[in-house]
C-alpha cells in the first residue's frame, strides 16, 4: 500500500448534530450531541493511499467525525491541531471481486468453507433441493425488491430491537442508483415467501454491505449466510465491480466472506474547547470501563455476561 500523504483541506462543508452514544452492547444508555462534519473514507481511496480531503470546518462546527479511516492515515490527521479521539478500532473487511468463484472460495478458511457448504445444503434441503435466489439491479425491478425486502426487514431483530432495518424511505434512492447501474439487491425465497434480503449500493467500483436481514424464526437455517454466499457467487461471475466492502466494524459474518482486511478506526477531531475536552474524556472513561468489564467477565469464564456487554 502506498504511504499516506498529508490531508488536503477544501471548501467548507455542512456540520450536522451527531449523537455520540454511551453504549453497553447494543443498548444506548445516554448520548451527547456535537455538531460535526461527517466523512467516510471510500475503500478504493483507502487501498490506494490517496490523501483524505477535509472540507473546511464551519465556524459553528465542533469538529469532524471520520468513519473507516485507515490507521496509516491517522497520524497526519492527528497533526492538524484538533483534539483527536479514536471512537473504535476494527479491521475493515473486504472481498476482491476480480477472482473466479472457486479461487475466492478457496481463499476462505477451511472452517468457513465447511460451514458454508453445510449451511447451504441444509437450506437447499428445506427448499426442496434447490435454492431460489433472485438478483435485482434494473430500475424496473427495484420496486419488487424493495417491497419484499421491507417485509423481511420488519421481521428482523435489527429493526425490532435496534431500529436499524432497511429504511422505509429508501426506494427513491434505490431507483436513482439503479438508473446508473450502481446497486444490487438479492432476495432468498423459501417456497414463494421471501425470507432474507441483501442490499448493496455502489461507490465507484465498490459495492457496500449496507443492509442484510432475515426472518427471525428461520435463523436455524442460516438464511443470511446462504444469501451472502450466493450473492458472492453472482458477483464473481458478473465481474462488474472490483470490491465488496463490508464497511466499518468487525464480526463473524464479515470475517467469513472477506479476502482481506484493512486496519481502520473511527476518529473524532474536535476543537480544543472545555466542552469538547470534557465530552471526550467522559466518553473515553466510559468506554474504558466497559472494556474492563468485558475482560473481567471473560477471565471469570462468564460467557453469557460477556455477550451482554458486547459492543
pLDDT reported for residue 208: 98
Domain 98-241 belongs to what architecture?
3-Layer(aba) Sandwich (3.40)
- Residues 152 and 120: their CA atoms lie apart, in Å, by 20
Are the beta carbons of 36 and 61 closer than 8 angstroms?
A: yes
- Residues 302 and 177: their CA atoms lie apart, in Å, by 46
Strands 53-56 and 8-12, sheet pairing? parallel
pLDDT reported for residue 26: 59
Closest-CA residue to 136 (of 231, 51, 49)? 231
Are the beta carbons of 242 and 136 closer than 8 angstroms?
A: no
**Cβ within 8 Å of residue 251, ≥6 positions away:** none
Q: Give me the tens of pLDDT residue by residue for the chain, a chain 311 residues long.
A: 444 444 544 446 788 998 888 767 656 788 888 899 999 999 999 999 888 888 888 888 999 999 999 998 877 776 567 888 888 899 999 999 999 999 999 999 999 999 999 999 999 999 999 999 999 999 999 999 999 999 999 877 565 555 568 999 999 999 999 999 999 999 999 999 999 999 999 999 999 999 999 998 999 999 999 999 999 999 999 999 999 999 988 889 999 999 999 999 999 999 989 888 888 888 888 877 877 777 776 677 655 444 443 43
- Residues 120 and 24: their CA atoms lie apart, in Å, by 34
Closest-CA residue to 54 (of 7, 17, 111)? 7
H or E, element range at 252: helix 252-257
Taken as a whole, the chain contains a residue count of 311
**Residues 155, 156, 160, 166, CA torsion sign:** negative
pLDDT reported for residue 80: 67
Are the beta carbons of 16 and 35 closer than 8 angstroms?
A: yes
pLDDT reported for residue 164: 63
Q: Quick one: how far is CA 69 from the chain centroid?
A: 13
Q: For residue 163, is it left (φ>0), alpha (ψ between -120 and 50) or beta?
A: left
How is residue 224 written as a grid cell?
443470511
pLDDT reported for residue 289: 82
pLDDT reported for residue 163: 59
The string of DSSP codes covering 29-61 is: EEEEEEEEEEEE--HHHHHHTPPPEEEEPPTT-
Closest-CA residue to 68 (of 37, 38, 86, 41)? 41
Domain with CATH 3.40.630.30 in the chain: 98-241
204 three-class SS? coil
pLDDT reported for residue 231: 98
Supply the angle between the helices 110-126 and 223-238 in degrees, to the nearest 10.
Answer: 110
Contacts of 212-219 spanning 24+ positions with Cβ under 8 A: 212/253, 213/149, 213/152, 213/153, 213/155, 213/156, 213/158, 213/159, 213/165, 213/166, 214/152, 214/156, 214/188, 215/152, 215/155, 215/156, 216/155, 216/156, 216/157, 216/160, 218/190
- Residues 147 and 171: their CA atoms lie apart, in Å, by 9
Amino acid at each position: 500500500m502506498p504511504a499516506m500523504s498529508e490531508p488536503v483541506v477544501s471548501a467548507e462543508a455542512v456540520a450536522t448534530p451527531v449523537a455520540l452514544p454511551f453504549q453497553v452492547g447494543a443498548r444506548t444508555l445516554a448520548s451527547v450531541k456535537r455538531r460535526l462534519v461527517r466523512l467516510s473514507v471510500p475503500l478504493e481511496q483507502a487501498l490506494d493511499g490517496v490523501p483524505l480531503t477535509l472540507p473546511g470546518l464551519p465556524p459553528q462546527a465542533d469538529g469532524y467525525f471520520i468513519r473507516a479511516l485507515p490507521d496509516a492515515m491517522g497520524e497526519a490527521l492527528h497533526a492538524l491541531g484538533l483534539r483527536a479521539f479514536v471512537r473504535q478500532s476494527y479491521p475493515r473487511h473486504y472481498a476482491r471481486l476480480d477472482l473466479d468463484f472457486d479461487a475466492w472460495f478457496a481463499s476462505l478458511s477451511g472452517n468457513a468453507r465447511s460451514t458454508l457448504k453445510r449451511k447451504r445444503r441444509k437450506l437447499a434441503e428445506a427448499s426442496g433441493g434447490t435454492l431460489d435466489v433472485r438478483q435485482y439491479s434494473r430500475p424496473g425491478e427495484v420496486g419488487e425488491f424493495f417491497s419484499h425486502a421491507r417485509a423481511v426487514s420488519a421481521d428482523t431483530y435489527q429493526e425490532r430491537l435496534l431500529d436499524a432495518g432497511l429504511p422505509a424511505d429508501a426506494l427513491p434512492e434505490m431507483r436513482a442508483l439503479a438508473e446508473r447501474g450502481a446497486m444490487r439487491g438479492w432476495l432468498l425465497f423459501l417456497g414463494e415467501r421471501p425470507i432474507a434480503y441483501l442490499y448493496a449500493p455502489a461507490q465507484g467500483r465498490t459495492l457496500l454491505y449496507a443492509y442484510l436481514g432475515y426472518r427471525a424464526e428461520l435463523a436455524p437455517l442460516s438464511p443470511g449466510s446462504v444469501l451472502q454466499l450466493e450473492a458472492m457467487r453472482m458477483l464473481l461471475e458478473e465481474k462488474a465491480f472490483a470490491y465488496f466492502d463490508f464497511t466499518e466494524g468487525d464480526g463473524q459474518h464479515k470475517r467469513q466472506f472477506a479476502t482481506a482486511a484493512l486496519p481502520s478506526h473511527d476518529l473524532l477531531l474536535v476543537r480544543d474547547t472545555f466542552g469538547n475536552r470534557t465530552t471526550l474524556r467522559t466518553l473515553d472513561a466510559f468506554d474504558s470501563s466497559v472494556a474492563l468489564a468485558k475482560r473481567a467477565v471473560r477471565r471469570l469464564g462468564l460467557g453469557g455476561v460477556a455477550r451482554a456487554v458486547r459492543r
